[in-house]
């Protein structure tokens, strides 16, 4: 019950209003220009993220398992790149490998792949507009206020 009182405090009312305003900004920016919604979301991440950081004074702790996995992966990649350089091979893809991959494709496959990519792009744009209808920034602010 204490969390609801936090949401009704002066800070809560102000930040819930800001969250609603940011949600409206993202929706309008997306409706006018879909990449504009992404730009508005980046601005919202900075605003809400800074508020959450300064409110709690800490950043979320990375779980030990994830940290160990990342360190192991980085060490393995560094060893592989070092071994390839020691052997005198170039690191990464070369232009000839990339050109050889695309040379064997038929025209039909190229059209199908391009059509599929265009369809997925259209689907992603529609999903972006639909997802902007959900007030995620307001929910995030409410969650931060009620879950201390």
Joined together, the tokens standing for residue 44 give: 């919202």
pLDDT for res 95: 45
Joined together, the tokens standing for residue 26 give: 């993202």
Between the two ends of the chain, the Cα-to-Cα distance in Å is: 12
The answer to whether position 72 is within a domain reads: no
Per-residue pLDDT of the chain (148 residues; tens, 9 = 90+): 677 888 889 999 999 999 999 999 998 988 888 788 889 989 999 999 999 889 887 766 767 777 677 778 877 777 776 666 666 666 555 544 544 555 555 655 665 666 667 777 778 878 878 888 899 999 999 998 888 6
The answer to whether position 70 is within a domain reads: no
The answer to whether position 106 is within a domain reads: no
Give me the number of domains the chain comprises: 1
> What domain range is 145 assigned to?
1-61+132-148
The answer to whether position 25 is within a domain reads: yes
The answer to whether position 39 is within a domain reads: yes
The answer to whether position 38 is within a domain reads: yes
The answer to whether position 93 is within a domain reads: no
The answer to whether position 52 is within a domain reads: yes
Q: Compute CA distances 130 → 8, 83, 125, 138, whole Å.
A: 29, 48, 9, 16
Compute how many other C-beta atoms are within 10 angstroms of the C-beta atom of residue 79: 10
């Amino acid at each position: 019950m204490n969390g609801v009182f936090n949401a009704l405090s002066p800070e809560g009312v102000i930040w819930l209003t800001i969250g609603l305003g940011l949600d409206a900004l993202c929706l309008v920016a997306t409706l006018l220009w879909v990449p504009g919604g992404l730009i508005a979301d980046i601005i919202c991440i900075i605003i809400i993220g800074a508020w959450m950081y300064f409110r709690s004074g800490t950043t979320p702790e990375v779980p030990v398992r994830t940290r160990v996995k990342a360190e192991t992966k980085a060490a393995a990649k560094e060893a592989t790149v070092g071994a390839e350089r020691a052997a005198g091979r170039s690191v990464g893809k070369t232009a000839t490998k990339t050109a050889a991959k695309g040379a064997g494709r038929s025209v039909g496959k190229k059209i199908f792949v391009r059509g599929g990519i265009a369809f997925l792009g259209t689907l992603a744009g529609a999903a972006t507009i639909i997802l902007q209808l959900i007030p995620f920034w307001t929910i995030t602010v409410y969650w931060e206020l009620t879950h201390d």
